[in-house]
Amino acid sequence: MNTATRPAAPPAPFDVEKLRADFPILTQEVHGRKLVFLDSAASAQKPRAVIAAMTAAMERQYANVHRGLHWMSERTTEAYEGARDAVARLLGAPDRHEIVFTRNSTEAINLVAHSYGRGVLAPGQAVVISEMEHHSNIVPWQMLRDAHGIELRVTPITAAGELDLAALARLLADGKVGLVALTHMSNVLGTYTPAARLARLAHDHGAKLLLDGSQAIVHRAVDVREIDCDFYVFTGHKLYGPTGIGALWARRDLLERMPPFLGGGDMIASVSFARSQWAQVPHKFEAGTPPILEAIGLAAAIAYVEAIGYSAIAAHEAHLLDHALARLAAIPGLTIFGRAQDRGGVVSFTLEGAHPHDVATLLDRQGIAVRAGHHCAEPLMHRLGIESTTRASFGLYTTVAEIDALAEGLLRVSEFFA
Amino acid sequence: MNTATRPAAPPAPFDVEKLRADFPILTQEVHGRKLVFLDSAASAQKPRAVIAAMTAAMERQYANVHRGLHWMSERTTEAYEGARDAVARLLGAPDRHEIVFTRNSTEAINLVAHSYGRGVLAPGQAVVISEMEHHSNIVPWQMLRDAHGIELRVTPITAAGELDLAALARLLADGKVGLVALTHMSNVLGTYTPAARLARLAHDHGAKLLLDGSQAIVHRAVDVREIDCDFYVFTGHKLYGPTGIGALWARRDLLERMPPFLGGGDMIASVSFARSQWAQVPHKFEAGTPPILEAIGLAAAIAYVEAIGYSAIAAHEAHLLDHALARLAAIPGLTIFGRAQDRGGVVSFTLEGAHPHDVATLLDRQGIAVRAGHHCAEPLMHRLGIESTTRASFGLYTTVAEIDALAEGLLRVSEFFA
Amino acid sequence: MFEDLRDLYQEVILDHGRKPRHGAKLAAYDATARGDNPLCGDRITLWLQYTPAGAIARAGFEAKGCAISIASADLMAEIVAGLDAGAARALADALQTLTKTGAPPTLDAPLAERLARLMPLAGVHEFPSRVKCATLPWHALRAALAGTENATSE
Amino acid sequence: MFEDLRDLYQEVILDHGRKPRHGAKLAAYDATARGDNPLCGDRITLWLQYTPAGAIARAGFEAKGCAISIASADLMAEIVAGLDAGAARALADALQTLTKTGAPPTLDAPLAERLARLMPLAGVHEFPSRVKCATLPWHALRAALAGTENATSE
Ligand SMILES: Cc1ncc(COP(=O)(O)O)c(C=O)c1O
Ligand SMILES: Cc1ncc(COP(=O)(O)O)c(C=O)c1O
């Protein structure tokens, strides 16, 4: 972690009940029961700080950015560009111009697949992904493969649900791989991938590394310089921020070499009908009116997480995970998927005799929100020999009591279908 | 206007002062003076209803959409899909599946340029745009031209700032034009284009018509069935909604024929490494977590505008425009650009002896927010023989007194530079 | 605790969901289709055997899915036997209405009787995200009748 | 009403903005560059003539821009004459600091004197969106010195 540019986190003791008070939604009831929200990996709830930042912008200080010479526009531009600083700080990026705002992780990966994939990679080169990717880190590469003649290679995972690094090395051996695109944390198995080792491995074979940090950045401090990767993407709504915003970090020299993705206002230096010239990075990649309010909300979310501190969050979530694994393992007929050494706060499982959908519906009636399905990772489901799982996932506001409620709820579900 | 599916607007008298109370920001001061916000064409201010809808979602009812079986997700999905209904109603679209949510108009046009341009148009075909397009409706077509061998034709405007329909007919004559992409209202000249005539003209020559409604939809009711166009795009933040959301309407058969744009979660029917199958429209075009909160905010904005009623808004703004044209024309050395028969609430002008930037800065010091520059329409500026203008633009909350303040402010600016 | 779930998980559903009677591929068949629920990965393959006159003689399926979708598939296979394509489609329409609104539409006598046997699926209308579980097999049925190979329950 | 604008629009600025002394193309030149402000469409073309020793002999420009950018260009053209490339770049850096912070950085005597003549541009730091107006000509200067043809003031 880059302590030099990150504001020092106050070593406050982690008081989950106090933090829960920051999230208005957590006091809601569902089906007459207190909401137990265990679906944060799909999208996290929003703290008051985020809601307040967006409201304040709309109530007191708003206009379009970049193009305005008046006070409201200047202030809003400062706030928007300040969000870029916040993301740069969050990721330990050396240069704020390396941060491109997108709608979400999905668009960020598509941007790379388009602008780096078609613009820099040559037909005949290969891209490597893994068996445990989210669809967002599969489909863009399939589209690139089909449109641009790029080979798509899939690196396997082990029985424990970890990357098989020896297999990955073999896939890289022929030097044809231009880009390795891997999740930094699986949204199904919870597995953290060894980011810095992956970067060395990719670089040793002449490939760039893209990390999908959609899940990882929620639970753990990330420093792209320490990892030494080349691209990093994440999505705001999982990091306690609003929907409609995500970010791509990429090394500046790569961004400079990449042709633009979308065309329009704000991404040009000059336009004539004969030809247009592109603006400098990152603006070259931000066409049209950007997600201004969303950037402001994201900056507030980042400040909120930083103030609590990643080490406190990680410690709390590690405790939750241990507790969850122990409680769930004790439920008859329950199978947990993934047993990586290094894992974050999601637990996927199946329950004998009850389909994941039915499990989710019966938990929902108890006020417990979990996800059921393939979690946008169908190939991983095939690899595991299943169609779907139920998944419980944690946020910084999750409590041990909620895990207990889940375990008890699952026992009731088992009874129901017995 | 499609009165059958649109909720009847109460025939309330238009009380601008009462409506202004719905917009908290309008009571703000800038440089110690009451804000006079005449930059709504760049981005409009937000009514309390929009702020409240987004806040309520974040405080009381939020989760990711489509993939959840639990209460919060079901309710949020209903709200998100309800926003699609609201957009379909707003545009008079015959089928809600024809509405695709995007980040903004720019992305919507890029989507069409990519999926229709590369996927349906063939190299050698042509696309027609006009001299008065926003960069967002120029650059995507240039990129298509350069990547896909599509010819780009530019239809001229008359001295009055209207489309030259005879010239357009000549450009269409050889039958090579696959798509005509035109603004529905110029963001610089205020000109409305004759949408239904354009549709007939395009169709008579075998071309489809895309209308950029970014400005038009703010001021006037739109019915895509009446116009009989093929694509219609607009952007939420100009329609009193949040940033981060826009929409594309397209005829269903066209959407069906278009390959997807971005790849990822939510836009697939099934994924395997060998090959993926796309979801049905509109989901095929909505990859990743969509702008959920933004859709909810946009739905509130649409409801707000519908409740006031487009006819009341249009009448109010026509009055403002007449007043503004009269007051500004009386200012020595002031030149107004555009004198279309049919025009909306934007006025672009230059002032002798003062550069538009300097004008904007001096107005800003008087609390008056206007825009100065090329307004993302550089080719139009070249056509007019200038580099930039100052632009005042109106919203439903604009008052006659604010126009007077502008006129008086401009007189002071003239004095300053005299 | 689960009283209100009895609307959704009636005994008939739990029973057909656990032990489907028609959950196997037909040895000989005239039409087949696959149905996918892209939102959850559920999948059904349906096989139809026609009578010489072109009515459905028998139906069989293999499915990965929840109690609701398996039960719906099994009830469907049971009920469509003997129907011609038009009647089967009318029943599929009726099932769609039933699961969306909770109320059965009015049908002619022979079909009405079959629809009555689908009433246990009516409770699904209170669970919007589960409606697709119940309708997936019927989408596959429509696809098989139309000679298309794939259907989704979007 | 405009008292506080006098910081931005000092007499020197208004005067150079209205009647630039160097606002013309050079008949003979050794380097040229164009600067664009993509945010507003402002544009400057700069021409430089070098001394045999490689210092700047003369500078001339054509510009479309506001009072601030024209004045900045004209003051620049006046002041860079006689400077070698390194010194001109140092002055460009100093101007950047001056317009961003309002305070002049410390420079050696001969440059410090020239920087003093740029002090009327200091007021621009209070108007963040106008800083680029003041720096655009200096971006073009850097580009011309480097032999690149285009600069933007982003
Ligand atoms: C006519 C027109 N088209 C397109 C746009 C682009 O809108 P957005 O920046 O929201 O994509 C604008 C506004 O900037 C506009 O006025
Ligand atoms: C690992 C991973 N990658 C990518 C995504 C896609 O994020 P988004 O839908 O916000 O683009 C997600 C979440 O859905 C995820 O968990």
CB–CB contact B357 D42 (8 Å): yes
Q: How far is the CA of B50 from the centre of ligand 1 (A)?
A: 20
The mean pLDDT value of chain A amounts to 95
Nearest CA in chain A to D36: A269
Chains C and D share 3 or more Cβ pairs within 8 Å: no
Domain assignment present for C80: yes
Q: How far is the CA of B217 from the centre of ligand 1 (A)?
A: 12
CA distance D120 to A125: 56
Q: How far is the CA of A108 from the centre of ligand 2 (A)?
A: 10
Domain assignment present for C34: yes
Please give the helix or strand (H or E) that residue C31 lies within, else none: strand C31-37
pLDDT at C153: 63
B314: how many CB neighbours lie within 10 A of its CB?
A: 16
B166: how many CB neighbours lie within 10 A of its CB?
A: 9
Taking the CA of B213 as reference, the closest ligand is 1
Domain assignment present for D153: no
For ligand 1, is residue B398 a contact (CB within 6 Å)?
Answer: no
Q: Is D11 on the interface with B (CB under 8 A)?
A: no
For B384-399, what is the mean pLDDT?
A: 96
A362: how many CB neighbours lie within 10 A of its CB?
A: 24
Q: How many CA atoms lie within 13 A of A393 on its CB side?
A: 30
Closest C-alpha to B387, from C133, D43, D142? D43
Domain assignment present for C94: yes
Burial class (CB in 10 A: 0-12, 13-18, 19+), D11: exposed
CB–CB contact C130 B283 (8 Å): no
pLDDT at B6: 47
CB A338 within 8 A of CB A161: yes
Q: Kindly list the residues from chain C whose CB atom is less than 8 angstroms away from the CB atom of residue B73.
A: 129
Domain assignment present for C121: yes
Q: Is A376 a catalytic residue?
A: yes
CB–CB contact D130 B356 (8 Å): no
CB–CB contact C2 A372 (8 Å): no
CB–CB contact C39 A373 (8 Å): yes
Please give the helix or strand (H or E) that residue B392 lies within, else none: strand B389-393
- Out of B67, B105, B289, name the one closest to residue A373 (CB): B67
For B297-325, what is the mean pLDDT?
A: 97
For A32-39, what is the mean pLDDT?
A: 97
Choose from D5, D8, D148, D154 for mutation: most chain A CBs within 10 A. D154
Domain assignment present for D8: yes
**Residue positions counted in chain B:** 418
How sure is the predictor about D150, in pLDDT bands with cuts at 50, 70 and 90?
confident
CB B45 within 8 A of CB B240: yes
Angle between helices D67-80 and D11-18 (to 10 degrees): 90
What sections of B205-291 are H helices per DSSP?
A: 216-219, 224-227, 252-257
Is the pLDDT at A38 greater than 90? The verdict is yes
Report the residue among B133, B138, B187 best suited for mutation to probe ligand 1: largest number of ligand atoms under 8 A from its CB.
B187
User: Per DSSP, what are the bridge partners of residue D46?
Assistant: D33, D61
Q: How many CA atoms lie within 13 A of A193 on its CB side?
A: 36
Q: Kindly list the residues from chain B whose CB atom is less than 8 angstroms away from the CB atom of residue A271.
A: 135, 138-139, 378-379
pLDDT at A143: 97
Nearest CA in chain C to A381: C41
Nearest CA in chain C to B279: C38
CA distance D95 to D103: 10
Q: How far is the CA of B139 from the centre of ligand 1 (A)?
A: 12
CA distance B68 to B62: 11
pLDDT at A418: 83
Position in ligand 2 atom list of the atom nearest CA B266: 9
pLDDT tens string A77-130: 999 999 999 999 999 999 999 999 999 999 999 999 999 999 999 999 999 999
CB–CB contact A355 C8 (8 Å): no
For ligand 2, is residue A183 a contact (CB within 6 Å)?
Answer: yes
How sure is the predictor about A2, in pLDDT bands with cuts at 50, 70 and 90?
very low
Is the pLDDT at B289 greater than 90? The verdict is yes
Distances (CA, A) of A362 to A225, A366, C42, C100: 45, 7, 18, 20
Domain assignment present for C153: no
pLDDT lower than 70: segments of chain C: 1, 39, 152-154
CA distance A69 to chain D (A): 6
Helix, strand or coil, per DSSP, at residue A189: coil
Domain containing residue D88: CATH number:
3.90.1010.10
The mean pLDDT value of chain D amounts to 91
Structure tokens given for A294: 């969303």
pLDDT at A400: 98
For A139-159, what is the mean pLDDT?
A: 97
By percentage, how much of chain B surpasses pLDDT 90? 92
Position in ligand 2 atom list of the atom nearest CA A236: 10
Is the pLDDT at B3 greater than 50? The verdict is no
What does DSSP say about strands C150-152 and C31-37: parallel, antiparallel, or unpaired?
A: parallel
For ligand 1, is residue B414 a contact (CB within 6 Å)?
Answer: no
> Subunits with at least 3 CB pairs below 8 A relative to chain D?
A, B
Among A42, A51, A167, A376, the active-site one is A376
By percentage, how much of chain A surpasses pLDDT 90? 92
CA distance A235 to A243: 8
Closest C-alpha to A73, from B337, B18, C129, B42? B42
Structure tokens given for B199: 């549709």
Residues 6+ apart with CB under 8 A from B258: B115, B116, B119, B120, B250, B285
Which DSSP letter does residue A376 get?
Answer: T
Residues 6+ apart with CB under 8 A from A237: A43, A44, A104, A243, A244, A245, B64, B289, B292
Domain containing residue C12: 3-146
Position in ligand 2 atom list of the atom nearest CA A185: 1
Q: Kindly list the residues from chain D whose CB atom is less than 8 angstroms away from the CB atom of residue A74.
A: 128-129
Residues 6+ apart with CB under 8 A from A91: A99, A217, A222, A223, A224, A232, A247, A249
Q: What is the pTM of this model?
A: 0.94
User: Per DSSP, what are the bridge partners of residue A205?
Assistant: none
> Subunits with at least 3 CB pairs below 8 A relative to chain A?
B, C, D
For ligand 1, is residue B187 a contact (CB within 6 Å)?
Answer: yes
For A163-187, what is the mean pLDDT?
A: 98
Q: In A230-382, which ranges are E strands?
A: 231-235, 246-250, 268-271, 276-278, 334-337, 346-351, 368-369, 371-373
Which DSSP letter does residue D153 get?
Answer: -
Residues 6+ apart with CB under 8 A from D123: D7, D8, D10, D102
Q: How far is the CA of B77 from the centre of ligand 2 (A)?
A: 17
CB–CB contact A67 D38 (8 Å): no
Nearest CA in chain D to B33: D1
Domain assignment present for D152: no
Among B49, B167, B376, B386, the active-site one is B376
For D45-70, what is the mean pLDDT?
A: 95
pLDDT tens string A199-254: 999 999 999 999 999 999 999 999 999 999 999 999 999 999 999 999 999 999 99
Distances (CA, A) of A218 to A142, A242, A346: 27, 14, 12
Distances (CA, A) of C145 to A242, C43, C51, C65: 45, 18, 13, 22
pLDDT at D36: 84
pLDDT at A67: 73
Question: Residue type for D106, please?
Answer: T
* All domains of chain B in start order, with CATH: 16-39+310-417 (3.90.1150.10), 53-306 (3.40.640.10)
CB–CB contact A67 D39 (8 Å): yes
pLDDT at A11: 47
The total number of structural domains in chain D stands at 1
How sure is the predictor about D61, in pLDDT bands with cuts at 50, 70 and 90?
very high
CB D106 within 8 A of CB D116: no
How sure is the predictor about A23, in pLDDT bands with cuts at 50, 70 and 90?
very high
Report the residue among A184, A235, A245 best suited for mutation to probe ligand 2: largest number of ligand atoms under 8 A from its CB.
A235
Q: Is C86 on the interface with B (CB under 8 A)?
A: no
